[in-house]
Amino acid sequence: MSDMSRKIDEVTGHRRMRRYRASAWMRNMVRETRLTPSDLIWTMFLIEGENKREPIDSMPGVERLTVDLAVEAAKEAVKLGIPAIATFPNIDYAKRDKTGTEILNPDNLINQATRAIKAEVPEIGIITDVALDPFTSDGHDGIFENGEIVNDKTVEVLAQAAVLQAKAGSDIIAPSEMMDGRIGVIRQALDDAGFQSVAIMSYAAKFVSAFYGPFREAIGTSDFLKGDKNSYFLNPANPNEAMRDVALDVEEGADMVMVKPGLPYLDMCLRVKEEFGLPTFAYQVSGEYAMIKAASQNGWIDGERAMMESLMAFKRAGCDGILTYFAPEAAKLLNA
């Protein structure tokens, strides 16, 4: 044994960590975190019409789909082992107005898609977003009046919208607008309407973020959205305030909670999972997807590996699943 070997055994106390990494079978045997297709929730954009798909410039590989094609995508999701899809509508501008009334149309694009998917693909879970931004003419998540987003009036509308989504067949209502009190009020409205079995996934720790940019192109609000969402989303500098906001959602009856965006907020994933122990999800948002795709298209990183590494990070941070635009691509790789 060389002097150096003796010295290293001494400083490490004979614990040589590389023993865990020496062969593929050993690495596999001591693996702590696993990613499977059942961890992935497929986030999907909807458009009106039939048999149409529209690419989104800032999200290479993601398309807006008409309802009939969303049904086909849902069939593919089942084949891939993806448990649920989350839908986001891009409706004609003419249907958007100051108070987002289209959200209360029982036959709006979200509800149409839910009905169609439920009818043809009953084995997939459907998660529907509750927020006004796809429906308002200013792109804000709540009702904008006299220079502010009005909380209580907005919550009233959200609760009605949630019941309509449940009637259409949604399995999980996902309020994404960060109004105060909305989880409790929505829970009551669902229960009063007989939808005790419909779950609520709260966008519980949702931060103001530059990473939402491509999503706003995807749902068509980037052209006219004015101002910022600082008066209702969380300040990225405030993790303790975020924990208190999550605690309220849990008290009000959220069945599961979400942290959003994803990678820049992994600290929150870990804290939320440890503190509340609820099923905890991360939303790997549009800008996170766009960054990986753009760097990959430039040949600057290995896109597939970056995708899988980023998804694994959420599992490592305690998440039970990830809402991600990568869902079909990653599931295909995992099934290969």
Residues involved in catalysis? 206, 260
- Measured over the CA atoms of residue 247, residue 250, residue 252 and residue 256, the dihedral's sign is positive
Q: Between 215 and 281, whose beta carbon lies closer to ligand PBG?
A: 215
Q: Do 268 and 242 form a contact (C-beta atoms < 8 A)?
A: yes
Q: Do 310 and 263 form a contact (C-beta atoms < 8 A)?
A: yes
Residues contacting 74, CB < 8 A, separation 6+: 85, 117, 120, 121, 124
Query: Cβ of residue 176: shortest distance to ligand PBG, in angstroms?
Result: 4
| φ/ψ of residue 64, rounded to 5 | -80, 140
Q: Between 139 and 303, whose beta carbon lies closer to ligand PBG?
A: 139
Prior bond to 261 cis, omega within 30? yes
Give the tokens for residue 217: 């192109």
Query: Looking at beta carbons, which residue is closest to ligand PBG?
Result: 215
Q: Between 44 and 166, whose beta carbon lies closer to ligand PBG?
A: 44
Q: Between 153 and 216, whose beta carbon lies closer to ligand PBG?
A: 216
Give the tokens for residue 146: 């006299």
Query: Cβ of residue 31: shortest distance to ligand PBG, in angstroms?
Result: 29
Query: Cβ of residue 186: shortest distance to ligand PBG, in angstroms?
Result: 14
Binding site for ligand PBG (CB under 6 A): 129, 131, 133, 141, 176-177, 212, 215-216, 229, 285-286
Query: Cβ of residue 299: shortest distance to ligand PBG, in angstroms?
Result: 25
- Alpha-carbon distance of 98 to 137, in angstroms, equals 5
- What is the three-class DSSP state of 142? coil
Query: Cβ of residue 284: shortest distance to ligand PBG, in angstroms?
Result: 8
Query: Cβ of residue 194: shortest distance to ligand PBG, in angstroms?
Result: 27
Q: Among 132, 162, 129, 130, which Cα is nearest to 144's?
A: 132
DSSP track, 196-254: TT-EEEEEEEEB--GGGHHHHHHTT-TTT--S-STTTSBPTT-HHHHHHHHHHHHHHT-
Q: Between 68 and 222, whose beta carbon lies closer to ligand PBG?
A: 222
Residues contacting 266, CB < 8 A, separation 6+: 282, 313, 314, 317
Give the tokens for residue 162: 């949630």
Q: Between 37 and 220, whose beta carbon lies closer to ligand PBG?
A: 220
Q: Do 163 and 195 form a contact (C-beta atoms < 8 A)?
A: yes
